[in-house]
Chain A
Amino acid sequence: MIEVVLNDRLGKKVRVKCNEDDTICDLKKLVAAQTGTRADKSRIQKWSNIYKDHITLKDYEIHDGMGLELYYN
């Protein structure tokens, strides 16, 4: 179980608990549950790498406490 920090640079900063083998899509669902936006409207990035929905956090090498950027579509 890892905890990831999502920051949207506009005031929303959420900490989300998830498993390593969750996909980005699942992470978006968890974020949507916490922030209130729609899951398919959000976009998770690291610099200019847009993270794809079907890949797991483990494959993206996202570790505990790492910060990700939250953008909207």
Chain B
Amino acid sequence: MANRTDPAAKSIRGTNPQNLVEKILRSKIYQNTYWKEQCFGLTAETLVDKAMELDHLGGTHGGNRKPTPFMCLVMKMLQIQPEKEIVIEFIKNDDYKYVRILGAFYLRLTGTDVDVYRYLEPLYNDYRKLRQKLPEGKFSLTHVDEVIDELLTKDYSCDIALPRIKKRWTLETLGSLEPRRSVLEDDFEEEEEKEENDQLDGLEDEAHEKDYYRGRSPARERDRDRRRDRDRYRERDYDRDYDRDYDRERGRGRDRDRDRERDRDRDRDRDRDRDRDRDRYRLRDEKDYGRDRERDREWEGRERERRDRDRGRRRSHSRSRSRSRDRKDREGGEHRKRHARSSTSPRRRDGAEENGTREEPKKKKERKEKKEDGTDHPDPEIAEANRLRASLGLKPLK
């Protein structure tokens, strides 16, 4: 009598709600002492008290598959079938995380698809730790959002086969649900906006470049004015800067080089600040490889443009002095190149380098693996057995 479902309970998915748990597991729960002692005559209110005492979740463990108290309480909820409001209260409560998980699990078993997504998705933002009992009997660490993810994506959890629910995009196309909005979306949007602004800046610089080569243009004059303001105290440089634009093609004299280096250093400082800001953003979301690639492209564009600028300037005849300076500058540039690159995903650089060398050992490996796997064994039965073993992750037959 104690194991009968409440006669007023509705049938779930066409059957007695307790049948959601399969027969063997159900009998194990009925024979469990926790069930017999603690779960006798529980109502919705007293169930809450028992749920608050939970300290781990899990399915069955051990050689003879003993169920956990969590399982027994799930079974009890299926038996008494509390109201939907009560279950939602379980989920909404913030203090007791195991009560939350219990409510979420029950809703996943018994609720409609829309309800499941609507009430379980907010729990993705809960990062608290949970203790989970593994089938071997040991405990492992997991988190609330991991468990919710399992409930929503997998079809088996805690030794219970979860009922099938429709996929999210099906419900979205039907119009029952809105597209998924993550809490982190606002953060991503901010990042994207900053990305776009940086890109726009990069494009403007390239436009400056083109004007530079075309000779005297408003952009170039703007740069010249900027530099002029900066060396207000250095009248010599002012003249030289002004002269430089006229004599760039001829490249007269060492002094000009010296000024060019100095200006270049100043420009570099400006660029370095910009790079540093960019690197900060880069480090923050290193996981977003697509974005990194964009930034690399933009960065390389700047390098190229800087190189072009330098090339244009270095068309001087006085090579000795400028050469030593150039070397230093070049090394400085490369050093910074190396430094900046190391903050991006190293995969890209390594991938490009190792691609050539990796292909050869890969081919050798493939040839070897065929023999190691044993899937090409002459005996077809054994070959098939080996194929199965390989798919399970086992070594081939001896």
Closest chain A residue to B135 by CB distance? A40
Contact B392 A33 (CB under 8 A): yes
State how many angstroms separate the Cβ of B373 from the closest Cβ of chain A.
Answer: 14
Provide the A15-44 mask, 1 if CB < 8 A to any CB of B, else 0: 001111010001001100100001011010
Tell me the A residues contacting B by CB distance below 8 Å: 1, 17-20, 22, 26, 29-30, 33, 38, 40-41, 43, 50, 52-53, 72-73
CA distance A45 to B133 in the complex (A): 24
Q: Which of B60-68, B178-186, B219-227 makes up part of the contact surface?
A: B60-68
Contact B397 A19 (CB under 8 A): yes
Asked if B20 is an interface residue, CB under 8 A from chain A, the answer is no
- List residues 113-165 of chain B with CB under 8 A from any CB of chain A: 135-136, 156, 159
Question: Besides A17-B381, A52-B63, 10 other CB < 8 A contacts?
Answer: A1-B398, A17-B385, A17-B397, A18-B397, A22-B394, A29-B392, A30-B388, A33-B392, A40-B159, A53-B136
Asked if B306 is an interface residue, CB under 8 A from chain A, the answer is no
CA distance A72 to B156 in the complex (A): 17
Contacts of B92 in A (CB 8 A): none
Contacts of B156 in A (CB 8 A): 38
Contacts of A53 in B (CB 8 A): 136
Q: Summarize A's interface: helix, strand, loop or mixed.
A: mixed
Contact B135 A1 (CB under 8 A): no
Closest chain B residue to A49 by CB distance? B63
Of A20, A41, A43, A53, the most chain B CB neighbours within 10 A belong to: A41
Q: With A73-B60, A73-B65 given, is the CB distance from A26 to B394 under 8 Å?
A: yes
9 smallest beta-carbon distances between A and B, as pairs? A73-B65, A1-B397, A50-B63, A17-B385, A29-B392, A1-B398, A26-B394, A19-B398, A33-B388
Contact B24 A72 (CB under 8 A): yes
CA distance A40 to B392 in the complex (A): 14
CA distance A73 to B21 in the complex (A): 13
State how many angstroms separate the Cβ of B382 from the closest Cβ of chain A.
Answer: 7
Of B25, B156, B394, the most chain A CB neighbours within 10 A belong to: B394
Closest chain A residue to B384 by CB distance? A17
Contact A73 B24 (CB under 8 A): yes
Q: Which of A17, A20, A22 has a CB less than 8 Å from the CB of B382?
A: A17
CA distance A53 to B63 in the complex (A): 9
Task: Give 28 A-B contacts (CB < 8 Å), ordered by A residue.
Answer: A1-B382, A1-B398, A17-B381, A17-B382, A17-B385, A18-B397, A19-B395, A19-B397, A19-B398, A20-B398, A26-B392, A26-B394, A29-B392, A29-B394, A30-B388, A30-B389, A30-B392, A30-B394, A33-B392, A38-B156, A40-B159, A41-B24, A43-B65, A72-B24, A73-B24, A73-B25, A73-B60, A73-B65
